[in-house]
Amino acid sequence: MPVPVSIVVITKNEQDRIYECLQGVVGWAAEIIVVDDMSTDRTLEIVQEFTDQVYSRRMDVEGVHRNWAYNKASQPWVLSLDADERLTLEVKQEIIEVLKNPEHDLYTIPRRNFIGSYWVRYGGQYPSAQLRLFKKGRLRYEEVEVHPRVFTEGTTGHLKCDMIHYSYRDFGHFLQKLNGQTTLEATKWVKTNRKVTFGKASWRAIDRFFRTFIGKKGYKDGFVGFMVAYFASLYQIISYAKYWEMKRKSQV
């Protein structure tokens, strides 16, 4: 008998990853909902093999988009998944047991983050628990354009079994996502009138590297750990560079 959970997945051009994601939950969950952000590849064609609960909606504001998607759920529990995430057999069984007599309204799930085939265990990358399982109506996102906060009602528990997160296909993909994330960060700084200086950004870059590589033992992941720390450092400087450009253009 399916678990009384609505799987909610938000997609955009995920033809290479969405099949495996949905294949792992079809028949297990009572409902699968996919909200697609105007994909131009085969994403919609693939998801229609698994569910007829497919909606096309442009992501204008992330918080609004996610709240809209979660409100489509008909089941008492919602499990939010990304296309690059996979539920293991162990965590699915744990969810079944937890929902027989739930003690909390929301649950975090630990994640194993991968770069390619490498599981990154250090540098703050594991267990990297995410708040993903919740009673419908007990979680909502702040409806702002950039990096929305999460607001919850009720108590939060923590599952023990892991889910899999294929964070990045390779270092090139890591840089590609870093580029998009730093644009959002710089945009947030400008829109909120944040005062960011080169000196502050430089200090944050140095601090982020050493906290990730030394403080959080990223060195135990060898070269991969070094690159994770280096990219964490780059995030600060690249965000500042984009912020500097945006402020300069607004003054012309």
Distance CA 158, CA 104 (A): 9
Token duo for residue 206: 């140095």
User: What architecture (CATH level 2) is domain 3-168?
Assistant: Alpha-Beta Complex (3.90)
The pTM of the full predicted model, rounded to 2 decimals, is 0.92
202 vs 233: CA distance, rounded Å? 9
State the DSSP code for 218: G
Which is it for strands 139-141 and 150-152: parallel, antiparallel or unpaired?
Answer: antiparallel
Q: Count the Cβ atoms, other than its own, within 10 Å of residue 185.
A: 21
What are the 10-residue block averages of pLDDT along the chain, 252 residues in total? Answer: 97 97 98 98 98 96 94 98 98 98 98 98 96 97 84 98 97 96 93 94 98 98 98 97 95 76
Q: Is 139 helix (H, G, I), strand (E, B) or coil?
A: strand
Q: Where are the domains of the chain?
A: 3-168, 171-250
3-class SS of residue 64: helix
